């Protein structure tokens, strides 16, 4: 499978990275987030259902990273072999 990002998810992801760079005055934490997201994307491309929680109301799967600090919502298109990241959010935000 191939992992792709929706425009909304990509914007939220980069906004989050920018926030932490500005907040901490360093790229270190943002780099950790990026590394965790890269690992997650590799896992989703190989095993998209592994450790995922399915939300019927959203019709999406959910995975958390960095000990639950961030949440990624995604949909799976088996026919086209695509995992589409729909939302990237801090776990402290109001749930979808």
Quick: pLDDT tens for 59-84. 999 999 999 999 999 999 989 999 99
Percent of all residues in the chain with a pLDDT value above 70, rounded to a whole number = 97
State residue 91's pLDDT score: 87
pTM confidence score: 0.90
Distances (CA, A) of 9 to 14, 60, 79, 85: 9, 13, 22, 6
State residue 34's pLDDT score: 96
Integer Cα distance of 94 and 57 in angstroms: 16
State residue 12's pLDDT score: 95
**In which residue are the tokens 């799976």 written?**
76
Question: Is pLDDT of 95 > 90?
Answer: no
């Amino acid at each position: 499978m191939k992992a792709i990002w929706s425009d909304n998810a990509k914007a939220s992801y980069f906004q989050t990275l920018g926030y932490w760079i500005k907040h901490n005055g360093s790229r270190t934490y943002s780099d950790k987030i990026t590394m965790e997201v890269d690992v997650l994307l590799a896992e989703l491309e190989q095993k998209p259902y592994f450790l995922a929680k399915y939300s019927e109301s959203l019709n999406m799967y959910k995975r958390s990273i960095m000990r639950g600090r961030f949440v990624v919502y995604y949909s799976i298109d088996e026919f086209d072999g695509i995992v589409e990241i729909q939302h990237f959010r801090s776990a402290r935000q109001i749930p979808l």
